[in-house]
Amino acid sequence: MEDLKIAIIGQSNFAAEVLELLLEREHLVVGVFTVADKGSREDILATTARQHRIPVFKFSAWRRKGIPIPEVLEQYRSVGANLNVLPFCSQFIPMEVIDGAAYGSICYHPSILPLHRGASSISWTLINGDDRAGFSIFWADDGLDTGPLLLQKQCTVYGDDTLDTLYKRFLYPEGVTAMAEAVDMIAAGTAPKIPQTEIGASYDPALFREENQYLNLNQPALSIFNFIRGLDSVPGALAVIEMDDGTTVPVRLFGASLSARRSMANGTPLHFKGSTGEAYVTREGIFITGTDGGLVKVKRLKRGSKVIPASDWFAQTNTKSVPLELNEKEQELDACLRAIWKSILKLEIEPETDFFACGAGSMDVVRLVEEVKDALEVAVSSETVFMAPAYGEFLQEVVLRLRTGGTDQASTLSCDSDKHVLLEANKRRIRVPTQMFVNGRFIDAHQGKTLPIVNPTTEEVVCEVACASAEDVNRAVECAHEAFGTVWATVSPRERGQLMYRLADLMEQHREELATIESIDSGAVYTLALKTHVGMSIDAWRYYAGWTDKIEGSTIPVSPARPNHVLTFTKREPIGVCALITPWNYPLMMLSWKMAAAIAAGNTVVIKPAQVCPLTALKFAELSVRAGFPPGVINIVTGKGSLAGQALADHPLVRKLGFTGSTPIGKRIMAACAESNIKKCSMELGGKSPLVVFADCDLEKAVRLGMSSVFFNKGENCIAAGRLFVEDRIHDEFVRKVVKGVRTMRVGDPLDRGTAHGPQNHLSHLLKLQEYCALGVKEGATLVCGGKRVPSMRGFFFEPTVFTDVEDHMQIAQEESFGPIMVISKFHASDFDALVARANDTEYGLASGVFTKDIQKALLFAERVESGTVFVNTYNKTDVAAPFGGFKQSGFGKDLGREALNEYLKTKCVTIEY
């Protein structure tokens, strides 16, 4: 056979890749024939050919009134081709050209001929529910896809395949390779010509005609599903929605799946024109009922030129878009963005310019996204372009993201709560939401139930906040579950870390506001709230943001059965929906300790903050929206532990529960976790932490930090030293110095910068502290100072208290006060073993401490004491990188540090034999 001289006739990336592959295989391409330019945009095949200096011919048509155009034929014949290759061709090529090459013409067709002849074969493969798809390369003749076969290849059609996935997964990449293989066979003289059989032949209607794109809704669910996926994402199945006012709205449907659901209790009815079945809008999408009762879920729809989540149908319909007023800097951004669009589309850009209507393709989308990221440093994605294809919409989307610092979802969320309280304090006016935060929005509780929030400093009601019911918790959990499997799953670990860093930056910017809310809501001293409550919260988010892309498994050497080989490795995966129940002593910090680790691991979260002080959690929700967290990832249900907390422990979709609180409540939660679905749990419970002070210590430091170990944060501190053991030789001096220090402590308004001791968190706790001190006196302990409510002062203020002569059997030596009460016992240094036994003589094991200059005593104590944290010559010195958690009835599991990630991850082992 003489050398081939190939003419490529066609268009698109497919044809361009065929050209590249033929050139790689050293075939001679003498000419490329493609479509005319659209405006100033030429087809990629023409661009590729010119790069290789191959003659390019662009024709708007090959025929006029059915007759070949003479000058077109002349230009084709001028290249002297002896083989025509048609990889993808939308034009009608005259037989004078098809038969004009000595070796004929070969065409690519995306079906297993003779099945699905015609222009829409991929779509009909899916619409008909075929279990096999494939392509044919055939010799063109004067029929429509009827010529002899050269080669065919097949693949399985999977249940989640769409037109796009089938094309990209198999028909495109394998088709390009097969076209080159076919040319190789022709060059070698081995190419067969197998006549097509008419058995099983079909010719299907062209789906580029709009009248053929309408979805028949009166058929079984499987048929509805197959039709939608057969047109996904081009051009989209057409349906018409009938509005309540009688108007009709044509829409295109995308992202279909067969649903196993049978109940639409929470759905809002929607009616499609001509349909005898029901349809519903839910937060998951639109559900269409087939004639067999099956349900088809649709995730996206296109109205006009804009693609929207199907779940937002009513929200989008009822919302009128208000154009943004651009400031001077944003006007410069507009000019930059227009220039990017113009460079891609090669035309002047107006607000109504539609990216896709102007001929842009998938590679143009990638280019637009990358250029916008580089030029404007704003996170957009391909989805952004599809959701906002008109320039004006796209500009608005970019501006909103830059204003909020958000990602793809940021502009669709609302930071506004319908109900809020305006706190005027600390020379600030702070607006705080009072509704629950579910699925990215602030909402009322079921039936509008609320709870009063009391300022512990003034005893006045600050506001009413939503009181969640079991129904509210269920809604929040289901939203978190949906987000975990959808939008959150598409966020990469590194992107997750970027969201967390952005949230930490926003918390930093608003740290004075957050500290002020913490003072008003929980009674925390402002300076302490600023440094610890808020400061350590920010540290936690930044620390775990750095972990998101460093969570990894390992490879494990195993012993395979010879001669086979085995690869075994582990994957660390998020658990799913994590419920968090946090206490009232550090509202924001406890939220951050737990949630930052859970989010870093890739989970979604529903948190119930303490009933009495939820306001910083709700302000935090606002910041999470501004940071760009997708809806459903972070949810906050406010209310009672007995209702909302119990509902979280009982919920079957919650796979992990993290709790900080009292031991009795922890036991009840563990039982509920076991009985519901054996959900994983971690518990940080009560404490009665021993602090040992040896006579050889630095006494001034021991007194100062010993006081801090008890009175820090008003004694509302889980690791507070619940019992001090002071060596008898220095006991009296230690007590004298402590009492002197207590009497100089300033008790008062927590917002006053000179205050050292604020009010207790709430009234019932204050009353329990009074009972605790009365019991200590009754048992025979010596009340040195304090022991009562601060007289003549409004607010829940309790005097810093010191007890001495406390014996081990007394209840105040065994039970936690969780208040500013120092309990001191003596010991003699001669019996170290007895001292350790006394320190361990409690069911709690959260923390402990020792003050001594003797390193041997310090290390022996640290080795033998039964507590999760040991402080040596210091106290309360925690860090976000150091694991925190207790032993025995102080709970199990860890907050903080690398170990905390284990609480929110599961390990999967994968074994492959080869």
Catalytic positions: 109, 684, 718
Distance of CA 711 to the CA centre of its chain: 39
Residue 450: burial class (beta carbons within 10 Å; 0-12, 13-18, 19+)? middle
804 SS3 class: strand
Task: Say how far apart CA 718 and CA 593 lie, in whole Å.
Answer: 14
Residue 620 host element (H or E): helix 615-627
Q: What backbone phi and psi angles, to 5 degrees, belong to 254?
A: -140, 160
Q: Which residues are CB-neighbours of 155 under 8 A, at least 6 positions away?
A: 132, 133, 134, 166, 169, 170, 174
Q: What backbone phi and psi angles, to 5 degrees, belong to 570?
A: -115, 150
What 8-state DSSP symbol labels residue 218? S
**Angle between the N-to-C axes of helices 328-345 and 391-404, in degrees from 0 to 180, rounded to the nearest 10:** 140
Listed residue (901, 467, 454) closest to 647, CA to CA: 467
Task: Say how far apart CA 514 and CA 432 lie, in whole Å.
Answer: 10
Tell me if 218 sits within 8 A of 275, measured CB to CB.
yes
**Angle between the N-to-C axes of helices 493-509 and 511-522, in degrees from 0 to 180, rounded to the nearest 10:** 70
Listed residue (678, 694, 657) closest to 851, CA to CA: 694
Alpha helices in 33-169 (DSSP H): 44-51, 70-77, 95-98, 121-127, 163-166
What 8-state DSSP symbol labels residue 645? I
Task: Say how far apart CA 113 and CA 110 lie, in whole Å.
Answer: 9
Task: Say how far apart CA 203 and CA 201 lie, in whole Å.
Answer: 7
Task: Say how far apart CA 289 and CA 888 lie, in whole Å.
Answer: 54
Other C-beta atoms closer than 10 Å to the C-beta of 573 total 15
Tell me if 642 sits within 8 A of 581, measured CB to CB.
no
Tell me if 537 sits within 8 A of 588, measured CB to CB.
yes
Task: Say how far apart CA 9 and CA 94 lie, in whole Å.
Answer: 12
Bridge partners of 556, per DSSP, are 568
Pairing of strands 83-86, 105-109: parallel
Other C-beta atoms closer than 10 Å to the C-beta of 900 total 29
